[in-house]
Structures are given as C-alpha cells and as structure tokens.
C-alpha cells in the first residue's frame, strides 16, 4: 500500500447511517502515515459524534464556515490550502447536489470551491435516490469537472432495499485512492535526484563540506513516488529516512556521487540536481591524521571537482535536466546564467541568506526558471514546494 506520510487528508462526513464508517477510514489513513482533519455537516452529527472523530483523528473537528480561531477567521481558506486530498465519505445526494451547483453556504461547500486538492466522493444513499435522474446528472457533471467517485457499492441497504447506493468499505476506499495515486502525472517515468551535502576528505577525520540537510531533495523524492515515478535518490550524508519505495544510493564524495548518477541516468527520464555538491576537493589526501603539533600552519591545496550537473546535461541531453541554485545575492540573475551556461531545461533558485528558507529549514521559497518563464513558489513547507515543482516539470515534459 502507498505510504501517505506527509500527506494531508481532509475527510468530509455528511449525514447518513454509513457515517459510522468514517472512523475506520480515518484509522486506515493514519496507519499509512497521513495527517487527517475532519469536516462534519450538521446532519452528520446525528449519526456519529464529533468527539469520536476527534479522538480517532487526533485533531479538532471543523464544522463552521467562519472560524474565530483561524487566521482572519477564514478557516475554510486555511483548510483548503492545507489539504492534499479531499475525501467526502459518506456523501449524500444533497451534498452532491450542492457541490454540483457550487453552493458555499456551509464549510464543506466552500472548501471544495477554494481548494486545488484532488477531490474524491464516496456516495451513500438509498438506491432510488442514487438512480434518480437528478443525482445521475449531477454525478456526470462532477466527473467531467475532474472529481473522482468511489462507488457506490451494490448490496443490502439499511432500508432493506438491495441495489447500488452502499458506501464502499473503508479498505476499498483507501485501496482505490492508492491505485489512482500510483497512476500520477509521472507514472512510467524514472527520476534520478541528488540530495544533501558531499564530503571531501582531508585526512581520515577531517573533511570539507557544507550545511545542506538534504530536506529539499528528500521531499522531491518522496513527492515523485506519490506521483507515480520510479525514483533513484543519490544522497550525501544526512540524518533523514527515505521512503522504502525509493532506490537509495548513499555516497560521501562528489566523485562517488557522479559515479552513482551516471549509473542511474542510463535509465532515467528526468534528472534533478538538488545536492549541494562540493565545488573543490583537497589535491592531496593524507592517509594519516594530520597532527596539529607537527604544523604551525596548514595549507590545503584544492582542485575542482567534476561539475555533475554540467556532466549530466552534456551526456544525457535526451533527459529533462533540472538544477538548483542556492544564492545569497542576485538570486534570479545568477540562476538564469547557470540555466544557460549548463544548458538546463529548468533551474530552481532560492535565497539561502534568508535563514527561514535556507539550509536545514523546513520551509522554502523558490523561483522556478525556464528559458520561457519565471514562476515564484511562495514560502511553504518543502514537501508542498516539491509537489508544485514536480507538477510544473510534468506539465513541461508532457507538452
């Protein structure tokens, strides 16, 4: 099953006897690592208590369009931006109708209009209500708009009728979303990503390196897995765990990174050079620890490392090549120069002098630059920035 770690699931629960199954849906998502928040309609509270869903999800329940505890009291906007996936389960005929007509007189309707997240609807109603022409028209309209329906299932209903209208079982709902996620915009693509710092040894105990934490590269790798890609992650020494679906290649030096990248690129469609590779290495390596009492001063002669990004661009030009530019001044201008001199398809620049988005930060703000345009991705968590970057890459390679 797909790991939903770092995935924000917004579960909408509407009024119906099947609402009791929403607790199990929450449990299954959380088991796979997701963070789950719940929006309830007033009628849903007649079938399952907010306290139950709060206890299972570990988060407060949302039910009001205007939230005095939210920034500017606009809770629906905050939740809309927070969600990666919106699932309404169970979803009544009334809610389907309201979504179809774009009504925003309650929190759930407003969220659908305000969010760019993928939306899934799992209907649950009497079979006659589901088969009614109005409901079927609404269903077809929403499918055309890109909303995905899960079910309804066939079977005996609470009223005694037998036919379509039952809520799909929680396990099948999770399985359905998993399969669809694995058919993401990068399905069938292989991506090689570099991450973290490299280390250039001076002697057995000392090395030249930098402050890269690897968080951005690991976030891109994780997002790429969720978008259906096969992922090679060539990583320097970091204190991070990679998704078990990622092909992990651990290295220390720039030359080791290049060797692994060359192997991976033989079967890769996309390269994303996110690592902070050491530009220089010591010309001479001391096999013994250099003792400070033996030297009143120490001079270390450096020589250039092979430019991995340029090497990939020169030798794997059929692939889509993306670089990163960590700058402290003239951020966009310097990145554009790098884009041209290294003949890249895209470069992503950020200002590492800003400590809130620099090395080891959990958030980032970047400029995505191609030969045709520059897009600013405003400050957000690195995993969300990673998803936006991959959506842009996917759109470019599928033009």
* CATH number of the domain where residue 203 is located: 3.40.50.10300
In a domain, 375, yes or no: yes
In a domain, 1, yes or no: no
Residues 230 and 377 in one domain: yes
Residue 390 has pLDDT above 80, yes or no: yes
* CATH number of the domain where residue 133 is located: 3.40.50.1950
Residue 325 has pLDDT above 70, yes or no: yes
Residues 128 and 217 in one domain: no
Residues 357 and 273 in one domain: yes
Residues 50 and 138 in one domain: yes
The residues, ordered by sequence, that sit 6+ positions from 312 with a Cβ below 8 Å of its Cβ are 261, 265, 271, 273, 319, 321
Alpha helix locations (H) across the chain? 22-31, 50-57, 75-82, 93-100, 107-114, 127-131, 133-144, 170-181, 215-226, 254-265, 308-315, 331-341, 382-397
For residue 88, how far is the Cα from the chain centroid? 21
Residues 172 and 204 in one domain: no
Q: Are 216 and 386 a contacting pair, CB within 8 Å?
A: yes
Residues 194 and 336 in one domain: yes
Indicate the residue among 121, 155, 181 that finishes a domain. Answer: 181
Query: Which domain covers residue 378, as residue numbers?
Result: 190-397
Indicate the residue among 181, 209, 238 that finishes a domain. Answer: 181
Q: What integer pLDDT is reported at residue 188 of this predicted model? A: 87
Residues 13 and 160 in one domain: yes
Overall number of domains in the chain: 2
Residues 224 and 125 in one domain: no
State the pTM of this model: 0.70
Q: What integer pLDDT is reported at residue 66 of this predicted model? A: 65
Residues 256 and 378 in one domain: yes
Residue 1 has pLDDT above 90, yes or no: no
In a domain, 3, yes or no: no
In a domain, 149, yes or no: yes
Residue 234 has pLDDT above 50, yes or no: yes
Residue 300 has pLDDT above 60, yes or no: yes
Residue 68 has pLDDT above 70, yes or no: no
User: Which is catalytic among the residues 91, 159, 264, 274?
Assistant: 159
Residues 269 and 340 in one domain: yes
pLDDT-above-70 percentage for the chain: 94
Indicate the residue among 142, 163, 181 that finishes a domain. Answer: 181
Annotation marks residue 159 as catalytic: yes
Residues 23 and 61 in one domain: yes
Residues 231 and 150 in one domain: no
Q: How many CB atoms lie within 10 A of CB 59?
A: 13
């Amino acid at each position: 099953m797909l790991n939903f770690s770092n995935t924000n699931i917004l579960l909408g629960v509407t009024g119906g006897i099947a609402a009791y199954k929403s607790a199990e849906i929450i449990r299954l998502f959380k088991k796979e690592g997701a963070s789950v928040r719940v929006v309830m309609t007033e009628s849903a509270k007649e079938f399952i208590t907010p306290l139950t869903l709060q206890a299972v999800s570990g988060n407060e329940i949302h039910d009001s369009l205007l939230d005095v505890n939210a920034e500017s009291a606009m809770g629906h906007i905050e939740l809309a931006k927070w969600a990666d996936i919106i699932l309404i389960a169970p979803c009544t005929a009334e809610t389907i109708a309201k979504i179809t007509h774009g009504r925003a007189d309650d929190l759930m309707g407003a969220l659908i209009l305000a969010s760019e997240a993928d939306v899934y609807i799992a209907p649950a109603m009497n079979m006659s209500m589901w088969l009614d022409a109005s409901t079927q028209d609404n269903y077809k309209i929403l499918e055309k708009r890109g909303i995905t329906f899960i079910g309804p299932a066939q079977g005996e209903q609470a009223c005694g009728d037998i036919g379509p209208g039952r809520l799909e079982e929680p396990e099948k709902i999770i399985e359905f979303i998993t399969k669809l996620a694995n058919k993401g915009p990068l399905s069938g693509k292989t991506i090689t990503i570099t991450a973290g710092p490299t280390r250039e040894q001076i002697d057995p105990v000392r090395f030249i390196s930098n402050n890269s934490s690897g968080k951005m590269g690991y976030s891109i790798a994780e997002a790429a897995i969720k978008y259906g890609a096969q992922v090679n992650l060539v990583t320097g020494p970091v204190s991070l765990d990679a998704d078990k679906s990622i092909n992990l290649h651990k290295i220390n030096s720039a030359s080791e990174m290049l060797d692994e990248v060359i192997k991976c690129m033989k079967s890769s469609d996309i390269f994303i050079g996110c690592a902070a590779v050491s530009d220089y290495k010591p010309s001479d390596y001391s096999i013994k620890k250099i003792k400070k009492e033996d030297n009143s001063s120490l001079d270390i002669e450096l020589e250039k490392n092979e430019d991995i990004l340029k090497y990939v661009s020169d030798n794997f030009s059929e692939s889509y090549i993306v670089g990163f530019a960590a700058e402290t001044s003239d951020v966009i201008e310097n990145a554009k120069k790098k884009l041209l001199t290294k003949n890249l398809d895209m470069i992503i620049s950020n200002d590492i002098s800003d400590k809130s988005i620099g090395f080891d930060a959990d958030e980032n703000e970047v400029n995505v630059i191609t030969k045709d345009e520059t897009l600013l991705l405003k400050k957000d968590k690195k995993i969300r920035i990673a998803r936006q970057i991959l959506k842009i890459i996917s759109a470019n390679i599928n033009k």
